[in-house]
Every structure is written in C-alpha cells, then in structure tokens.
Amino acid sequence: MGSLVEELVGVLGAAQVSADETVLASYAVDQAPVLDFQLPEAVVFAGSVADVQAVVRLCGAHKVSVVARGAGTGVSGGAHASRNSVVLSLERMNRILDLNPEDETAVVEPGVINAALNEAAAPHGLMYAPDPASFRTSTIGGNVATNAGGLRCAKYGVTRDSVLALDVVMADGSLIHTGHQTFKGVAGYDLTGLFVGSEGTLGIVVGATVRLKYLPREVHTIAAFYPDFRQAAAGVLAVGRARVQPAIMELLDGGTLAQLDEIHGSDLSVRGRSLLLIQTDGFGAAAEADVVRSVLAAGGARVSTEATAEAEQLVELRRNSRGAEVDDQYRVGEDVAVPRSRLVDYVAVLEDLAAEHHVNLKVVAHAGDGNLHPTFWVDRKDSAVDTDAMERLNLALDASVTAALAMGGTITGEHGIGQYKLRWLGLEQPEPVRQLQRRIKDLFDPAGILNPGKAI
Amino acid sequence: MGSLVEELVGVLGAAQVSADETVLASYAVDQAPVLDFQLPEAVVFAGSVADVQAVVRLCGAHKVSVVARGAGTGVSGGAHASRNSVVLSLERMNRILDLNPEDETAVVEPGVINAALNEAAAPHGLMYAPDPASFRTSTIGGNVATNAGGLRCAKYGVTRDSVLALDVVMADGSLIHTGHQTFKGVAGYDLTGLFVGSEGTLGIVVGATVRLKYLPREVHTIAAFYPDFRQAAAGVLAVGRARVQPAIMELLDGGTLAQLDEIHGSDLSVRGRSLLLIQTDGFGAAAEADVVRSVLAAGGARVSTEATAEAEQLVELRRNSRGAEVDDQYRVGEDVAVPRSRLVDYVAVLEDLAAEHHVNLKVVAHAGDGNLHPTFWVDRKDSAVDTDAMERLNLALDASVTAALAMGGTITGEHGIGQYKLRWLGLEQPEPVRQLQRRIKDLFDPAGILNPGKAI
C-alpha cells in the first residue's frame, strides 16, 4: 500500500496525509464500541472538494475503501476504519460559505462545527435547529451522515428536515448537486434525503445548504421532579394530551440524577427519583409553560418555581450527561425509540430487565420523540469477582432492543446503524427491505469502496 | 389486450374493472394540461392491497403499464394515462385504519381524502398538516405521490415531513414496508423519502403512517392590502425579518383580486392592488399577529382591523382561487419557487414578462416558502383575432421558468414534474443527476411498467 500513500502525498501534499501510527490509531475509531479494530492505511485531511475527488479516485484505483469522517463524535461506529481503508477527514473543510439572513439559509462545508453555525446565525435571529448532544464538537457533515437528532427535534425536526441541498462526491469521484436552495422543491426523486443518514456509504457529502429557523426570543424552562420514573414518563404523555409542543422534553431517571450529583455536586437526587425537563419557546412560550406546569403538577410532579437560570443549568447538565461517563463502570447503551403511547410501558420493561439481569440502569430520553437512551452498567470492581457481568449486560441490552421492536419501535432513533447496530438491523427490517438497500448501495458504489460494512 | 381485461375481471370481479369508454375517458387525465392524450386499456378500482398486487402482476405479465391514481386532482399530469396502460384507482381504499391520539399518528389507506383525515383528527385536538388547495377532494396517497405542499407548509412542512412509514407494492407485485411508527428513526436508507414524491414510478403506495400535529386553539388572520404587488412581496420579507413564523402567508396580486371580485361579488380590488393574507396560530398567535400588523403597516400596507371571521373568509376565497378558472380565457400556469430574498425581484420579472409578451398576469403565492403560482392568460375572444396569443403565452411561461432558475429557484415547488414539466427538468437538473434517477428507476422497476414517462 505504500504506493497509495505516496500518490496521496503527491496529489495533496504531505501536510494533508498522515501514515503516522499515532494519527492512524486516533482516527481509527469514533466514540462507538469497537467490535473489529482496524488501523487505516492513511488519514487524509481534505481541504477542498477537489481533494475529496482525488482521494476517492486514487482509492478506487487502488481498491482501497474510503471512510469519511467529521469530528468522530458518532456513537455507532459509522466512522470506524475498516480493513484496507483510508480515513478521509473533512474537519479542515470548515468554512461557512454563505449565510443569507433573508433567505434564511446557509451553505456550509462539511467540517463546519454545529455550534459554529449557530453562533454565526444567532446575530441574525436565526438558528440551525438540529442539536445533537455533541453540537459543540460535531460537524454538519457528520450530522448529515447520521441524520442526527438532538433535544429540539420534537418541535424542530431532525437533520433531514433542515437540509435543502447537498454537494456529494460519488464513488467514481464525480461531483453532483442534489436538492434545491428554496424551502420547497419536488423536482425528481429525493436524492438529498437518500444521502442524509447514509453514513458515507452512497457518496461523500462535501457541502450542504441548510434552512435556518427563527431563534426564539423567549424560552421558558420547567423542571419537574417525580417520585419515580414511570410517573415522569406519564407526564410526557400528559403534556402531549394538553396539545402543547415543547421545544425540549427530556426525561432523566434516578440513576442519571445520581450520576450528575456525583459529578457536579448537585442535589438532584434529593429532590426526586426522576426529572422531566421541559423548554417551551417562541411567542407562546409563557402561555405554554403555564399549561405544562399545571398539567405536570396534576400528575404528581414537584414543579420547579425556581428562576429560569437554574432550570436552564439543568438543561446544560442534561446536554453534557453523555460526556460524564466514568471509567470504573462497564456499560452498554442504546438509542431505541418507541411510539409515545408506549413510553410508560417501555420504561417499566427496562426496569424489569435491569432487575432480572442484576445490572444497574440509567435512562435519559428525548421523551417528546419517544427516543430513549438506556444504559445498563455494572461497577468495574464488582465485575472482577463477577465474571458473567458483561454477558448479563449484553443480555439486558439485547432484550431491551427486542422489547422496543415488539412495541412498534426502532433500534435507532438518531445515532444511526453504523457498524455497532448491524447485529439488530435484521430484527427491524425484513430481508426484502435490506436487499433493496444493498441494491441501491451497489448502484451508487459498484466497487463497494465507500465505507463498507456500515449503515445497511 | 382483451385478455388482460378478462384476467383483471377474473381476479377482481367485474365491479372493480371498467373498459367503458366514458369511464376510460374520465380516468385518462388528471387536472393538468394534456400533451399526449391516451385512453387506458382499463380502469381498475382496487379495494385492497391484494388487489393492487394482483393488478401489478397481471399488468407486468402482459407488459402493460400501471398508472396509479388517487382523486385525479394533480395538476402536472402525474396521473395521465400513457399508451398501453391500465389506470389503477386507489380511491376505494379509503379507510382510516388507525388514529392514535397518544402516539399522534394515523395509519391510512391511500384513498383517504385529506379533509377526512383532518375531520377524524380534529376531535382529538390533532390535524394532518399538509393542506394542498385540493384538500377537500385529494387523497393522502396522491399527496404522498406528489409530496404535496399547501398553505401551511412554511410552518408545518410538506407531505414528506408528515410521513413516517409507507406500505408499497413494488413492480414485481411484492409488498414492502418502509420507515418507522416512531417520530424518529434512522435505520438504513431513507426509502420512505424516496417513494414520497416519486409519482408512482418506483412503487405504488398502498398505506401510509403519518404524524399528526397539534390543532392550534387560537388562530389570528391578518389581511394587508397594498398599492402594488412588489410592496406586498416586500412585506413577506419584512415579516421574516421580524422572525415571526406565520402558519400561512399568501400573496394575491391585483389580477387575482379582480377575478375573485368577479366571481364572489367582493370588493377586494377597491381596497388594494395586492393582498397579503397571514395567519398566525398556536399559543403565541396573538402576540405574533401584533408584530405582523405593525411590521406590515410600517411597510405601507392597509392592515385589516376587521373581525377574524371576515379575514378567514378571505383565506377561504384564496383556498378556492384555483378552482375559479373561467372558460373564456386561455391560460398557462406555473409552480416555481425562488429563494425568499428574490421574491420582490421575481415578481418584478413576472410583471415585465407580461408587458413584454402582451399577456395578462395573475399571481398567487405561498409567499412564506417563496413558492409562486403565476398564471399568464389572454381572453378567448381576443385570441380569435390574435392568432399568436398561445405562442406569446408559452413564451412568457418559458421565460418565467428560466428566470426562476436563474435566481436559484426550482421549476416545481409542490405540484411535481408529472408529464407536463418534463420539458423544463433538464434546465434544472444536469444530466448526471437525471441519469442517477433513471438508474434508480431501472433498479426499482426494471420492466418500466410503473407510470412510465413521468417524474424524472
């Protein structure tokens, strides 16, 4: 493979190509569990669309795979290196090419950080709505590749709903433009939607035109503590029944509250065994918050009367709760979604599974979407004397996924299939549907060089 | 072809198959201009998924095309019969199979009328958001086939944004299920999005799971009259600059107002040469309406102080403005969309084109989306003595499409390509993008029996 690296250096220059072992190792995986660790042949840092085209063409000629990568914050292994691959980092392509406050659109390179786009949009009274927990570090390109969700999805939609057009480098190195600059457009098939969430397996997104939404002038945050998790989940349905659409509706269970207390010295656990955090926004925010407060109080919640600042701090804690994992635990986590009416039932199933398999459980949920992130865990010190702990963790995990599917749910609400969730995909999608996707993949990438073994 | 009809009757029964000339003629076209009139071999009225599968298989065996059809309200010819085809009407598959007020979803057969779903949802405080002008007669299946828009899109999104899952009969007669029952789901490629808007060319939608939105309790309607159309278009941008998101933002020019006056005996033309109709809804409706009124008044509008009932009647008039076409005119109309910042410029271009080509112009626009429906027309009595009137109409039409594209627009915001707009598709999409779509079509429908000559 030396010759491929040499050719890459020849075309792109040495500053954009690395075969250094340390670099290869740090770009070999994203933040997902690693099932099959592989070092790439090289890491290439593209600076332009032409660079991406050159890399794809060279790799194609050498029959080497291309694993496109943003910030590597994915949690499903969509950016894990595969055997005989080059990792193509798009993080240096980080320019906001256009931000038009009248059109309410922006054109960005794939490496633009989600938060950076929001910072650029805010002075114009605009925001880029999709806000995955990783928004401070993840890239728009990565968000597009995984069709990332976030906290604000229930009201503002997922990444797909904010993407109007894409520039995509195809497997043969050609460049196409899909979609439209306008809010609406129905000319031909929805190629844009097909690329969104395809994890770099159909083409490499090198540019995106996104729609911006209005930054709400008023935000009200409500913290509602409950004696147990099931009652909190019922609160989510009660807010729905009142036909109020919050911008954010996050559910945290007792295990999550205890962990946050440990890390941040807060006293959340004292205040309740479960927390429902709700934000309303926009011109109706105050009126909506009033309805939410009364509905939740009627359902047994201790509803905060504290200053918005304090409740907002809780939202910040929630946003960071994923980053707070600790090293003295073994954990397996998921990203299922269930129909909203099944939230309470599903939470009950999770609690039963934790008890049955003698593992600990903590759950956070984008409850407005029915999207849950349950984590089963055991203390590392216990597992030293408890050799089947990992097996029990995995049994609980598998059972939690099966239970979500049995309720009409999905195995992934927003993280994507990547490499990690392929094991469950056949449980959700029957063979003809999977076969159709494989044939689409073959059509777009006949040689199979684009991020093989991911997504489908 | 007698034998195909006999076989269809044999499988489905005589009550579901017609080869009657009158029936064939009335099902030969939708509401689009007819470029190439063809009578189908038969019209089949499917009553079940199995019926659709049988029809597709029989037609495949006979190498006869299948043109799926809802209520036939499309205006791009997506449901025009083609040579050697069977028209497959789905209007009898009109059951709402499920409406779950807690999940906020509904499962419908394709022939369910848009308004019927809304009527069923309303008692639960829910609505099906996409509201094409044809909502009282068009079907959800037809809406899905064209990715229909409507008045409420700017705030609530287009059909795609409300569709969670589809049941689709493929070209080989097999049935697949795409998508998810949950609000979010990113397992595999977005096949659902690929079928939405594909006009029955990739598969036949026989069922849809849709997300319902909250029916707003409060709606405020504002009628703002302007001395000219360009100022009214500028008003749309001013509302955007105030970062208020109305549910409806409709722009009507003087020609449209005059026509409405003629039909309904109203006095709109006396009140202004252009009308901007805005509805705000939800908990913030009143506050938003206040901002809108002050912004519009500052921009030179005469803002209504009339009762909401009267302003709402204007919205009703607007909804029906398309149905008010008269027989003593020749008309050509369009469905372009432009980036919002170009609205004023584009309106100016339209007025210049009408003057240049000596034709009349009227325009209505879903202005919040930059989606315009300009119609050029001449009086039929004039055209008797003015033999190149039709040619001038078409020159103005073509120039209006080209101008929209030059501004970064699209040739179709919401009506679809169908058969009618194929003439312009090459101006919007370069050959590689069109080729990719043809290859997807070939993958899904190798024999080319599903609604050939449409959409791409």
Q: Could you read off the pLDDT of A176-211 as tens digits, one per residue?
A: 999 999 999 999 999 999 999 999 999 999 999 999
B-chain residue closest to A281, CA distance:
B284
The tokens 């997902």 sit on which residue?
Answer: A32
A406 interfacial to chain B (CB closer than 8 Å): no
Residue A307 pLDDT > 80, yes or no?
A: no
pLDDT at position B303, please? 93
pLDDT at position A357, please? 96
pLDDT at position A383, please? 64
B37 interfacial to chain A (CB closer than 8 Å): no
Residue A1 pLDDT > 50, yes or no?
A: no
Q: Where are the beta strands (DSSP E) in B294-402?
A: 302-303, 329-333, 360-366, 371-379
pLDDT at position B309, please? 76
Where do the H-state alpha helices sit in A203-342? 229-241, 254-264, 268-271, 285-298, 308-319
Residue A129 pLDDT > 80, yes or no?
A: yes
Nearest-Cα distance to chain A for B415, in Å, is 7
Nearest-Cα distance to chain A for B377, in Å, is 25
- The beta-carbon neighbor of B103 closest among A183, A340, A415 is A340
- The beta-carbon neighbor of A287 closest among B191, B283, B430 is B283
pLDDT at position B333, please? 86
Give the span between the Cα atoms of A164 and A179, in whole angstroms.
6
pLDDT at position B305, please? 66
> CB–CB of A250/A166 below 8 Å?
no
Please tell me which residue, B50 or A264, carries the higher pLDDT value: B50
Q: What is the pLDDT of residues B304-346, one digit of tens each?
A: 866 677 778 888 888 876 544 556 778 888 999 999 999 999 9
How many contacts does A have with B, using Cβ atoms within 8 A?
269
Q: What is the pLDDT of residues B256-310, one digit of tens each?
A: 999 889 888 889 999 999 999 999 999 999 999 999 999 999 999 999 866 677 7
Q: Select from A63, A104, A69, A119 the least CA-distant residue to A89.
A: A69
Paired sense of beta strands B105-108 and B96-100, if any: antiparallel
B-chain residue closest to A404, CA distance:
B182
Q: What is the pLDDT of residues B11-62, one digit of tens each?
A: 999 999 999 999 999 999 999 998 889 999 999 999 999 999 999 999 999 9
CB contact under 8 A, B186 and A244: no
- The beta-carbon neighbor of B104 closest among A149, A240, A434 is A240
B429 interfacial to chain A (CB closer than 8 Å): yes
Mean pLDDT of A151-169: 96
CB contact under 8 A, B153 and A186: no
DSSP B324: G
Mutate to test the interface with B, among A184, A199, A236, A444 (most CBs of B within 10 A): A184
Residues 52-111 of A with CB under 8 A from B: 100-105
Residue B158 pLDDT > 60, yes or no?
A: yes
A112-150 core/surface letters (b: 16 or more CB in 10 A; e: else): bbbebbbebbeebbbbbbbbbbbbbbbbbbbbbbbbbbb
Mean pLDDT of B160-176: 98
Confidence of residue A305 (pLDDT cuts 50, 70, 90): low
Mean pLDDT of A43-51: 98
Residue B1 pLDDT > 70, yes or no?
A: no
Q: Going from the N-terminus, what domains does chain B have, and what CATH number goes with each?
A: 96-214 (3.30.465.10), 219-406 (3.40.462.10)
Least reliable range by pLDDT among A181-195, A254-268, A355-369? A254-268
A-chain CB neighbours of B244 within 8 Å are 214, 283
Please tell me which residue, B433 or B382, carries the higher pLDDT value: B433
Q: What is the pLDDT of residues B209-220, one digit of tens each?
A: 999 999 998 999
pLDDT at position A316, please? 85
Q: Which residues contact A444 (CB under 8 A, 6 or more apart)?
A: A170, A171, A201, A202, A203, A450
B414 interfacial to chain A (CB closer than 8 Å): yes
Residues 177-216 of A with CB under 8 A from B: 177-178, 180-191, 193-194, 196-198, 202, 213-215
Q: What is the pLDDT of residues A217-227, one digit of tens each?
A: 899 999 999 99
Beta bridge partners of A277: A223, A250
ipTM of the complex: 0.96
Confidence of residue B207 (pLDDT cuts 50, 70, 90): very high
Residues 295-354 of B with CB under 8 A from A: 337-341
pLDDT at position B42, please? 98
Which run of H or of E encompasses A144? helix A140-146
Q: What is the pLDDT of residues A367-418, one digit of tens each?
A: 999 999 999 999 877 766 677 888 999 999 999 999 999 999 999 999 999 9
CB contact under 8 A, A243 and B215: yes
pLDDT at position A314, please? 86
> CB–CB of A413/B182 below 8 Å?
yes
CA dihedral B6, B8, B12, B18 (to 10 degrees): -80
Question: Residue B391's CB: how many other CB atoms inside 10 A?
Answer: 10
Mean pLDDT of A280-289: 96
